[in-house]
């Protein structure tokens, strides 16, 4: 382990470096580090892997999805619109939930 100390001071007369008088002890440094803030939150591992795929959809259906996204209420003060991708994912999740209830999965 390397020791940490204050940088050497230069004398005004000769300009030769002189070691600093006060040295910082490693014990003091470790105390400061260990005293630190709040603990790190535990990492919850998600074993699911994200997959991507292409989807082929009619242009008319895509336009309709775009119109439905535009009809969604927007948050006050923000002009962020609801994306088509989010709309499709929401529709898929709703369909999955209905099918789970239907087939008791």
Three-state SS at 90: helix
For every residue of 9-73, DSSP letters joined together read EEPTTT--EE--S----HHHHHHHHHH-SSPPPPPPP-------------HHHHHHHHHHHHHSP
Q: What predicted TM-score, i.e. pTM, was given to this entire model?
A: 0.52
Alpha carbon 59 to its chain's center: 35
Spell out the domain ranges in the chain: 77-105
For the residues 83-102, what does the mean pLDDT come to? Answer: 95
Residue 9 β-bridge partners: 18
Residue 18 β-bridge partners: 9
pLDDT digits (tens, 9 = 90+) for 42-79: 778 888 888 999 999 999 999 999 999 988 887 777 66
């Amino acid at each position: 382990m390397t020791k940490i100390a204050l940088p050497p001071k230069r004398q005004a007369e000769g300009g030769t470096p002189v070691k600093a008088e006060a040295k910082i002890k490693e014990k003091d440094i470790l105390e400061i580090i260990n005293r630190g803030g709040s603990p790190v939150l535990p990492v919850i591992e998600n074993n699911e892997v994200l997959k991507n795929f292409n989807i082929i959809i009619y242009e008319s259906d895509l336009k309709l999805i775009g119109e439905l996204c535009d009809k969604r209420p927007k948050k006050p003060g923000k002009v962020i619109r609801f994306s088509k991708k989010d709309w499709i994912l929401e529709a898929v999740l709703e369909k999955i939930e209905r099918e789970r209830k239907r087939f008791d999965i």
